Amino acid sequence: MAVLEQIKQRYSVRKYEAHAVEPEKLEAVLEAARLAPSARNVQEWRFVVVQDEAMRAKLVDAAYGQKFVGEAPVVIVCCATNTDYVMRCGQAAHPIDIAIAMEHMALQAVQEGLGTCWIGSFYPEQIRALLNIPDDIAVVEILTLGYPADTAPEKKRVPLSDIVSHETWTF
């Protein structure tokens, strides 16, 4: 499948089938994250993979009661070991690096017939306590993973001409 086709098929899955993700598919998704670029090649990402049903149920409360977090057969908590580096452009590197790795996972998931959802609505300290994540590690995002039990909604995107200008700002 071409990358653009994967991008077109990818959507935020909020309803998952109950069956487990095969280990080789999970490994392929995680390998996609490992291969992602990072600022200065720091590779500060760390991923806590949660498959235990009881622990996933506890993560629901830590994710503002979003029930599908517990229903997804895999929850990947995306963390950063280094939060100090600020790129010359003024942006902190770790959230960008984590985002790149997560989208690599999301696109590989599509290739594997799986779906994902980025979760930014959660209590980091609750996640930290549940998963024994040290205080010096940033809990950045959560990614649910599994077989979609819903269908992709129609994507509503503005036209390319509304978001791209050439050579100078012309908006």
Mean pLDDT over residues 66-87, rounded?
Answer: 98
In 3D, which of 21, 11, 16 has the Cα closest to residue 71?
16
Q: What is the pLDDT of residues 119-168, one digit of tens each?
A: 999 999 999 999 999 999 999 999 999 999 999 999 999 999 999 999 99
Kindly tell me the burial class for residue 139, based on how many C-beta atoms sit within 10 Å of its own C-beta (0-12, 13-18, 19 or more): buried
Domains of the chain: 14-149 (3.40.109.10)
Output the 3-class SS for 38-99.
Answer: CHHHCCCEEEEEECCHHHHHHHHHHCCCCHHHHHCCEEEEEEECCCCCECCCCCEHHHHHHH
Quick check: helix, strand or coil at residue 142? strand
pLDDT value, residue 1: 60
Band of residue 36 on the pLDDT scale cut at 50, 70, 90: very high
Q: What percent of the chain has pLDDT over 70?
A: 99
- Rg, Å, the chain Cα set: 17
Structure tokens at 151: 């269908």
Identify the pLDDT of residue 157: 95
Among 107, 100, 98, which residue's Cα sits nearest to residue 47? 98
